[in-house]
Amino acid sequence: MSVLTSADQADSADSADSAATVDLGPAAALACRECGERFPLGPIFACASCFGPLEVAYDLPGGDPEELRRRIESGPNNIWRYAPLLPVPADVAEHPNLNPGCTPLVRADRLAAELGVTGGLYVKDDSGNPTHSFKDRVVANALEAARAFGFTTLSCSSTGNLAGAVGAAAARAGLRSCVFIPHDLEQGKVVMAAVYGGELVAIEGTYDDVNRFCSELIGDPIGEGWGFVNVNLRPYYAEGSKTLAYEICEQLGWELPDQLVIPIASGSQLTKIDKGLKELIQLGLVADRPYKIFGAQAEGCSPVSRAFKDGHDVVRPVKPNTIAKSLAIGNPADGPYVLDIARRTGGAVEDVTDEEVVTAIKLLARTEGIFAETAGGVTLGVTRKLLAAGVLDPAATTVVLNTGDGLKTLDAVAGTTGPSATIRPNLDSFREAGLA
Amino acid sequence: MSVLTSADQADSADSADSAATVDLGPAAALACRECGERFPLGPIFACASCFGPLEVAYDLPGGDPEELRRRIESGPNNIWRYAPLLPVPADVAEHPNLNPGCTPLVRADRLAAELGVTGGLYVKDDSGNPTHSFKDRVVANALEAARAFGFTTLSCSSTGNLAGAVGAAAARAGLRSCVFIPHDLEQGKVVMAAVYGGELVAIEGTYDDVNRFCSELIGDPIGEGWGFVNVNLRPYYAEGSKTLAYEICEQLGWELPDQLVIPIASGSQLTKIDKGLKELIQLGLVADRPYKIFGAQAEGCSPVSRAFKDGHDVVRPVKPNTIAKSLAIGNPADGPYVLDIARRTGGAVEDVTDEEVVTAIKLLARTEGIFAETAGGVTLGVTRKLLAAGVLDPAATTVVLNTGDGLKTLDAVAGTTGPSATIRPNLDSFREAGLA
């Protein structure tokens, strides 16, 4: 993808509201993650000086942590309870949006027993979001930025979950949406992307082609007034993943877990969860103590895992080939930051085969009644592998993320999941089946 | 289905815990809905005297409504906050279960504008439950009864949503499950029913055949220790639908809505929502004022709507033929009670064609970003029809139920939902498509 910098995008920013008057709550500026240079809030995502990625810098609320905790606890039962820590205006909960978040943190005792975990095992089940993936969190944040910048069309490139999340969010908000997908997606994902009534454009090409086309579009007059959630709104969008960190700690009674296992696609989610945990410590909302972050990939798309094992700081792109399509990003933008976090916290990055993914999906369903999408299978599969290898501590409090819903990736298990028996409607036939 | 009475089922009850020592919280007895005769709590569902259906009778908490309201509001963020009003033990929230409920009540202003509703229109979106349908509510209540009666296998007959809900609930609880389905279900529903690892038995026959077989099984020694959520646990199971009434009123700020539109399958959900509203009035949790209940059916399975329009008290069974398969019960057990409630409250029962169902699914998706299953399309379609006919009051506060998830009934919209355009990955091709 070509890199648009803050300078290149001045026109685009000017066409919307002036960045100077933008109210995105505690968000104070965009800061380059590489050189630290700061820019006014606007629809930009790359540093004009060094081309590094921009992220949101805050004036976080000071004062008594107990008071902030009470303020959060008395807030709405969705991500907007954390509005004081997000790039959104204070009245965000009044804006029509999907109100994602506050998904269950499931205490998974039966799964823990099978895996030999004694320190407390939890599954953060983000299939409970409105369109059944964690994407609702990030899109909800991008939507507020789109409103602030005066964008009238919400857009993205996607292979599935994101398309549905953007279509639904734009519908609720009354914005136009125009979503771009590769032409050869599964019918289920196409229906989910199209049903919300926005424009859905199929592109004759790969996901990379779709991405490149979206970058072209942003630079063209056609793209004026368009907010691409994962391109020119990316700094705001990405912050939505911090809410996973906030919720996990609040649900644990304002405690940090010892270990978190997080899937890696672009790596953004993992880095933002780390950012969220550090903010909670900084604000005194949780006691400061060490935590370890582990990253999970599918073997068929494991560039970060490979780099971790080889001791490299850079990630060598790969051509993805895995059933975990929502994680199939061969050139993960945040790969180097993931490596840094895994190493700094004493975690690791590991990968599992597609067979292990399917086994893990079924294990989670059988022990906890949670039907995860393939990304969830990757994360639990890696958890299992790292426990067996003695890398994850079974006596530590461990949180595993399930970021999506098995209903969207039925094919992964359909071939090996079906009736135990087919019988005639009588007792003899049932007895013969040997299930009685 | 053959009717098992309290007398017939004495053996089955004896094989489990004694009914006399059962702790199901405020549940005091089972009472016949026809003759009022009372029976001790047990796995029975039909009156020994008159064969009428049994339902749970309570010793509801007395005292200060404010205190009860506070107790509920400080409870868990799921149906167990209403444990004092349900047939479950006080410590139910500690038992491993799916913790359904507290799904969004969406203020649907964009939908209201399209339909001309000015009094406030809300969608109660039960696709937010763990297995994405309202069935998680009823199964969670049946599970507590199964535990109380010492059952070790959770079972049901189902055509889809219920199978998944039972499979998942049993997995979380560590119970065996054995679910019976017709052999010709869609693959998606079969996968969802099987993935939780319980026994799934396909029956060569129709849903009616499956039901008849389950009744045989309950009377046979094989069925000893089996709790069929929608047969011998039905009185407890059905109470789960009351939580929809509780949540709607609490989410409206402890107010009754003026009008509710509710889908009809067996009719149980509608009658239990009415029961829940009456309990809230009785307990002083909401101010007593009139409300109207409207029932929704698909034209291809509209026996209750037909009886309502014809002014009959009895419901004449039909052979279902509609895309709204989760509502396709041709001989709805609670039909007469539904007719009574619709007439008593000043409501109505109406039906819509499959085309109107699809139109309503798309309308809800386009205006509010909610992708409903066909049952939700039926309910919104009927809402629209009754508004156009002047039967529903547009100036009144109206709540429409969406009981399930569009991902489970993709076929309903797949044929008419797809990309706006397919283009090559360049700006010229996009311009030619006329979407810029």
pLDDT tens profile B267-300: 999 999 999 999 999 999 999 999 999 999 999 9
Give the CATH number, domain containing residue A225.
3.40.50.1100
| A250 shares a domain with A185 | no
Question: Count of domains in chain B?
Answer: 2
A166: closest CA of chain B, how far (Å): 9
CB contact under 8 A, B195 and A361: yes
Within a domain: B86: no
> Which chain A residues have a beta carbon less than 8 Å from that of B203?
422-425
| A315 shares a domain with A393 | yes
CA distance A373 to A402: 8
Residue B432 token pair: 């030619």
CB contact under 8 A, B418 and A190: yes
B293: closest CA of chain A, how far (Å): 27
Region A285-291: mean pLDDT is 98
Residue A179 has pLDDT above 90, yes or no: yes
Of A195, A201, A365, the CB nearest to B406: A195
| A374 shares a domain with A299 | yes
Q: Which of B125, B166, B196 would you mutate first to test chain A, the one with the most A CBs within 10 A?
A: B196
**Which residues, in sequence order, are CB contacts of B368 under 8 Å at separation 6+?**
A171, A172, B106, B108, B110, B111, B123
User: Between the CA of residue A242 and those of A80, A86, A98, what are the distances in Å?
Assistant: 12, 8, 17
> Which chain A residues have a beta carbon less than 8 Å from that of B420?
194, 199-201
DSSP one-letter code for A52: P
CA-closest candidate to residue A31, choices A12, A4, A53: A53
Secondary structure of residue A32 in the 3-state scheme: strand
Phi-psi group of B124: left, alpha or beta (phi > 0 → left; psi -120 to 50 → alpha; rest → beta) = beta
Name the least confident of A178-187, A388-397, B254-263, B269-278.
A178-187
pLDDT for A435 equals 81
CA distance B200 to B205: 15
Rg (CA), chain A: 22
A354: closest CA of chain B, how far (Å): 17
Q: Which residue has the higher pLDDT, A376 or B182?
A: A376
> Which chain B residues have a beta carbon less than 8 Å from that of A430?
201, 213, 217, 222
Phi, psi of A395 (to 5 degrees): -90, 5
pLDDT for B5 equals 45
Residue A383 has pLDDT above 60, yes or no: yes
Q: Which of B74, B133, B191 would you mutate first to test chain A, the one with the most A CBs within 10 A?
A: B191
pLDDT for B159 equals 81
CB contact under 8 A, B96 and A77: no
**B366 to chain A: closest CA residue:** A196
Looking at every residue in chain B, the average pLDDT score rounds to: 93
pLDDT for B6 equals 46
Within a domain: A258: yes
Secondary structure of residue A369 in the 3-state scheme: coil
Of B102, B196, B414, the CB nearest to A369: B196
Within a domain: A85: no
Within a domain: A310: yes
A328: closest CA of chain B, how far (Å): 20
> Which chain A residues have a beta carbon less than 8 Å from that of B376?
none
Of B168, B187, B371, the CB nearest to A369: B168
Of B132, B178, B421, the CB nearest to A201: B421
* Band of pLDDT at residue B253, cut at 50, 70 and 90: very high
Strand partners, B173: none
CA distance A180 to B436: 13
> Which chain A residues have a beta carbon less than 8 Å from that of B187?
410, 414
Name the least confident of A22-31, A78-87, B59-68, B98-107.
B59-68
Residue A290 token pair: 């060490």
Region A222-230: mean pLDDT is 94
CA distance B186 to B383: 29
**A208 to chain B: closest CA residue:** B425
CB contact under 8 A, A425 and B210: yes
Is the Cα torsion angle B221, B224, B226, B228 positive or negative in sign?
A: positive
CA distance B39 to B297: 34
* Band of pLDDT at residue A9, cut at 50, 70 and 90: very low
3 state SS for chain B:
CCCCCCCCCHHHHHHCCCHHHCCCCCEEEEEECCCCCEECCCCCCECCCCCCEEEEEECCCCCCHHHHHHHHHCCCCCHHHHHHHCCCCCCHHHCCCCCCCCCCEEECHHHHHHHCCCCCEEEEEHHHCCCCECHHHHHHHHHHHHHHCCCCEEEEECCCHHHHHHHHHHHHHCCEEEEEEECCCCHHHHHHHHCCCCEEEEECCCHHHHHHHHHHHHHCHHHCCEEECCCCCHHHHHHCCHHHHHHHHHHCCCCCCCEEEEECCCCHHHHHHHHHHHHHHHCCCCCCCCCEEEEEEECCECHHHHHHHHCCCCCCCCCCCCCCHHHCCCCCCCHHHHHHHHHHHCCEEEEECHHHHHHHHHHHHHHHCCCECHHHHHHHHHHHHHHHCCCCCCCCCEEEEECEEHHHHCHHHHCCCCCCEEECCCHHHHHHCCCC
**A73 to chain B: closest CA residue:** B74
* Band of pLDDT at residue B20, cut at 50, 70 and 90: low
CA-closest candidate to residue A322, choices A368, A382, A370, A269: A382
CA distance A376 to A161: 13
H-run or E-run covering A427: helix A427-432
Of A204, A414, A427, the CB nearest to B191: A414
pLDDT tens sequence across A111-132 = 999 999 999 999 999 999 999 9
| A315 shares a domain with A174 | no
CA distance A118 to A370: 20
> Which chain A residues have a beta carbon less than 8 Å from that of B192?
371, 406-407
A338: closest CA of chain B, how far (Å): 31
pLDDT for A20 equals 53
Of B178, B181, B419, the CB nearest to A202: B419
Among B187, B213, B237, the domain-final residue is: B237
pLDDT for B13 equals 41
Secondary structure of residue A60 in the 3-state scheme: coil
CB contact under 8 A, B369 and A213: no
CA distance A289 to A191: 46
Of B172, B201, B369, the CB nearest to A168: B369
Please state whether beta strands B292-298 and A54-58 pair in parallel, antiparallel, or not at all (unpaired): unpaired
Residues of chain A with pLDDT > 90, as a percent, come to 87
Phi, psi of A52 (to 5 degrees): -70, 160
Residue B80 has pLDDT above 60, yes or no: yes
- The full length of chain A comes to 436
H-run or E-run covering A399: strand A398-402
Q: Which residue has the higher pLDDT, B3 or A306?
A: A306
Of A195, A220, A435, the CB nearest to B365: A195
pLDDT for A211 equals 87
CB contact under 8 A, A187 and B77: no
Asked whether A90 and A24 are in contact (CB, 8 A), the reply is no
CB contact under 8 A, B209 and A425: yes
| A138 shares a domain with A54 | yes
| A185 shares a domain with A283 | no
User: Between the CA of residue A372 and those of A409, B130, B187, B193, what are the distances in Å?
Assistant: 9, 11, 17, 14
> Which chain A residues have a beta carbon less than 8 Å from that of B170?
369
CA distance B31 to B46: 9
B29: closest CA of chain A, how far (Å): 31
Within a domain: B336: yes
Among B216, B237, B258, the domain-final residue is: B237
* Helices within A220-353 (DSSP H only): 234-239, 242-251, 268-282, 303-310, 335-345
| A174 shares a domain with A36 | yes
B105: closest CA of chain A, how far (Å): 11
Domain of residue B138 covers 10-62+134-237
Q: Which of A371, A402, A426, A432 would you mutate first to test chain B, the one with the most B CBs within 10 A?
A: A371
Phi, psi of A183 (to 5 degrees): -70, -15
CA-closest candidate to residue B179, choices B111, B235, B226, B220: B226
Of B104, B217, B370, the CB nearest to A427: B217
Region A323-337: mean pLDDT is 93
Within a domain: B311: yes
Residue A16 has pLDDT above 90, yes or no: no
> Which chain A residues have a beta carbon less than 8 Å from that of B380?
none
Of B169, B196, B407, the CB nearest to A407: B407
CA distance B225 to B16: 7
Phi, psi of A99 (to 5 degrees): 45, 60
| B146 shares a domain with B111 | no
- The full length of chain B comes to 436
CA distance B146 to A101: 32
> Which chain B residues have a beta carbon less than 8 Å from that of A424?
203-205
Residue A23 has pLDDT above 50, yes or no: yes
Region B400-428: mean pLDDT is 94
ipTM: 0.93
| B371 shares a domain with B249 | yes
Q: Which residue has the higher pLDDT, B215 or B393?
A: B393
* Band of pLDDT at residue A339, cut at 50, 70 and 90: very high
Q: Which of A114, A251, A407, A435 would you mutate first to test chain B, the one with the most B CBs within 10 A?
A: A407
* Band of pLDDT at residue A5, cut at 50, 70 and 90: very low
pLDDT for A8 equals 45
CA-closest candidate to residue A202, choices A218, A216, A186, A215: A186
B180 Cα distance to chain centroid: 19
Looking at every residue in chain A, the average pLDDT score rounds to: 93
Please state whether beta strands A398-402 and A121-125 pair in parallel, antiparallel, or not at all (unpaired): parallel
| B224 shares a domain with B264 | no
Residues of chain B with pLDDT > 90, as a percent, come to 87
Please state whether beta strands A226-228 and B421-423 pair in parallel, antiparallel, or not at all (unpaired): unpaired
| A408 shares a domain with A381 | yes
CB contact under 8 A, A405 and B407: yes
Within a domain: A40: yes
Asked whether A406 and A289 are in contact (CB, 8 A), the reply is no
Within a domain: A433: no
CA distance A179 to A146: 15
Please state whether beta strands B259-263 and A292-298 pair in parallel, antiparallel, or not at all (unpaired): unpaired
Residue A331 token pair: 């050139």
| B248 shares a domain with B391 | yes
CB contact under 8 A, B418 and A369: no
Q: Which of A124, A131, A191 would you mutate first to test chain B, the one with the most B CBs within 10 A?
A: A191
CB pairs under 8 A between A and B: 232
A179: closest CA of chain B, how far (Å): 9
pLDDT tens sequence across A153-166 = 999 999 889 999 99
* Band of pLDDT at residue B187, cut at 50, 70 and 90: confident
Residue B137 token pair: 């509510």
CB contact under 8 A, A425 and B213: yes
Residue that the structure tokens 């969830």 belong to:
A376
Among B181, B212, B237, the domain-final residue is: B237
